[in-house]
Amino acid sequence: MNRKIKSILGSILVIAMVTAMLTVGTKSFFSDLEVSTGNTFTAGTMDLKIDCNSKWYDAAGNEKGSIYFDEKDLIAGEDKFFNWDDIKPGDHGEATISIHVYDNDAWGWLHLIDVKNDENGLMEPEIAAGDNTTDEGEMNKYLQFMIWRDWGEDGIPGTNDEGEGDNILQDTEEIVFKGTAADLAGYECNWLGPYELKACVTYYFGIAWQLPFDTGNIVQSDSFSFGIEFYVEQIANNPNPQPPS
């Protein structure tokens, strides 16, 4: 190998070594990378569900009818808490309705709608009892209701303590209404509330009813009927809640 070729080979070797060193230098830089993906705005949800456990008994305590449904979205005209035909003096019953709101805390209201006192024709015993109003039934003056918070001994909903949601009124539980069907009808189109409803807590309400023994013939064939509307609204950003107009 002559001197010129050796020199060229030497130069190539030096270039290769420098290139290799530069390459190693590039790969050794400290580095870091931060990534955020999927940034999204999704609206919250609010879902009200109601369930019912309702019984009708005669004076001797024999069950005459029952309605039960687990928590659901109510279908108007289909899901009823009471649907009793042929009740008589001495009959009584109880319905426990529970209210659940999911995903977010809510303000809740309720009121009665479509209250009706139907005469359903004037029977001879009714006329004999002094009924002279053919267009208005009298059941609402005799049928008694009592509504209480079935929240147990601690008076707090959702703690599942003794007596909570058991369909029985204990001394510690608060009665929120007691009176005749006519008194109850005072809440027609008159929103009750707002009540604070915590998400995922079950709020049990007991509704006891009876047609007293001393109810006379004047209510034969009469009926009292009503609907209930429940309304909820978000609590967040809503410090001065107003009932629906």
Minimum distance of Ca ion from residue 228's CB (angstroms): 21
Smaller CB distance to Ca ion: residue 101 or 218? 218
Please give the residue ranges that form the binding site for Ca ion (CB under 5 A): 119, 126, 131, 133, 138, 150-152, 154, 156, 159, 161, 163-164, 166, 168, 170, 222
Question: Which token pair is 212?
Answer: 């007293």
Smaller CB distance to Ca ion: residue 168 or 176? 168
Smaller CB distance to Ca ion: residue 83 or 133? 133
Minimum distance of Ca ion from residue 225's CB (angstroms): 14
The whole-angstrom separation of Cα 109 and Cα 232 is: 6
Smaller CB distance to Ca ion: residue 216 or 241? 216
The whole-angstrom separation of Cα 171 and Cα 167 is: 13
Minimum distance of Ca ion from residue 136's CB (angstroms): 5
Minimum distance of Ca ion from residue 199's CB (angstroms): 17
The whole-angstrom separation of Cα 6 and Cα 72 is: 93
**Whole-number Cα distances in Å, 127 to 32, 68, 90, 116, 122:** 94, 38, 22, 21, 7
- CB-nearest residue to Ca ion: 152
Number of neighbouring beta carbons within 10 Å of residue 118? 15
